[in-house]
Structure 1
């Protein structure tokens, strides 16, 4: 070993010649020999320590700059999401107001159409009655003329019989009186028939004019209803499309979710019941009744989407925090081995408010192994959310919570290396990536 050290000293002699450090006291002078190997080790140690200091300072500076940028970006995204949420809420309220106004207009139009149809039917009935009266008068007139002719023939026959028996007919005065009475009767009947015929014709003309006017009003109302229905259908489609994208992007079956919501939603509003105004048995898909029913069905579907989104965990459990770990296989911070991470981690200050991401019932609230202080919320459709490592818990088992309710504060209990929230979503007990749900709704809510 000493030979190896001597050889190293000889090799380093050219670059690091032997030095002597003199130490002088009052009584004597001593010195310390600094061999080449000793000098090389000292210089290497100093250079290594200086390089480590520079590297550590650089890492700390870069981490500080990166953390500031992430916080600024998170603040900008939060402000954008809040602005987007306010805009969508205002648009939703405007669409709801337009829907109520259109429903009122539609009801008023239906009432007007019903009144017009009643008036049209009444005028048609009056026209039929007048035509029947004219026909009766004409039959009476014909019968009267026939009776007059028969009376004349009978009078002539009687006159011939009287002439044959008595040798003379009735006097001219009597015959003139009979003719005058007959003519007076006929003229009176003709005047009455003519007057009734003229009145019936006038009534029929007036009824036709009213019918034409009502038909025009019905066409105008139908045109207005067509525009109203088109606006309502467009508004419903624009409202349903982003909600449908939420479920599709989250990997959920829209039909299954809506069917489950519909089966459990018993408080359907009477205003959304289908409209039925025809009893003829025919069905026109382009009629106002059919379009109104389609609009009501769209509103009912929109309401089902609203109920479903309130029951699914689309929201973030914490605001103003930075994500430190994602879902999937990662390097364990304690052991260094690769293992499955069943949730998403966010880091922030201790005590940061943790909120429920959807409405549900608290299934568990307490301490559980490596999770530390843990809250489990049971939602509809077999979905559960986990909130782990909490500093404190603000809910109890069995309690009902709504989206945004505070359930605890961020901490570092359990198997944790720092203050953070571990958040999981499980469907039927199987962990899923929570960011799939959060990203699906981040541009809608």
Structure 2
């Protein structure tokens, strides 16, 4: 080893040591510190192992890819071989058919040759007897040789004919394929022609029906014209009879006027009864509204007494019929009470007097209370009604769902707008069964009782709001109970 090579090796070792200096790994376990020494040789070994593994992986990858390509090529070759094999099988089947025919001919020829061979044996037996027979035998042999040659020529002719037949068969198959295509085109054109013919038949049938309908209309119009002519003659004849009937009707009108006076008295008494009954019903409904805690003069204000403006054209109820001042005052009073009845009943129909649950316990009333979460004094704008988990929650009055979703404190909550400023709210639900904009009736199942949101257990937080101000729901439920009791007493 020369000095130059030794110096090159030293420089290489120094470079490796600069690139991979000795390292120490500090390991601290349960307060004790230990050091793991990683020498330059160990680092070089690890790098060499890593390079070897990477090279092996690359070599294996390249080999695998080459093998995969070879497998794909072999698969293509196998596929091509299978196709060629299928074609060969088809050709072999054709050859088998031709060979069967040739074999049949060869068998016939063999039988003929065997007959010739038997004749040859007979000639051989006669050969020893006479020279003439020998010459005849030689001629027969020549004839047999010529016959054999003719048979070979026939076999060659059969082969050429077989090849010609095979070519003709291929041409016939191609021609048959072309005919099948033409047949498919003809069938499609035939179907189109049939469809067009069916459409024309339908159109002709429709025109025939329209023509019959037009003829029927013309016949009907002619019959109507004849009927009108007959009616015109009848009217002319009846005009004279009407004049006689008018005198009879005048006498009947006089009798009816006397009867009308009697009916007016009875009608006046009925109006008084209806007015008194309406006043009683109005008082009952107003009492129910007051029981809910709402101020009657605000929710359904009474029209001022000085509001007496009236007018419009006069149209008598009956011809030549006028009302007395007493009847007119009674009518005005009844109209006012009916208007008041419609007013209070319209508000009454939208009032939530029912209860949202069938089985419940009031766990927190309306008003001030101690908050169940933080224990501080607070205002409670509804009534907490506890009951079995997932009990059905029903609408307490007909209305439209204005909100259905989640709110921070209420959890899953539903708001129903009942009109006239009344809104009910149902909070802490387990499941919502309605959508915003959906119309609901009294008793419609809208949700299932739960404990979502700021809640300590399964219950429904039930609110009644008027013009967005909370009102005690218990008063509405008590008013509903009062209505039910009145209905039972009336029965």
When the two structures are superposed, what TM-score results if normalisation uses the length of structure 2? 0.41
Which fold has the larger relative contact order, with Cα–Cα distance below 8 Å and residues 6 or more apart in sequence? Answer: 1
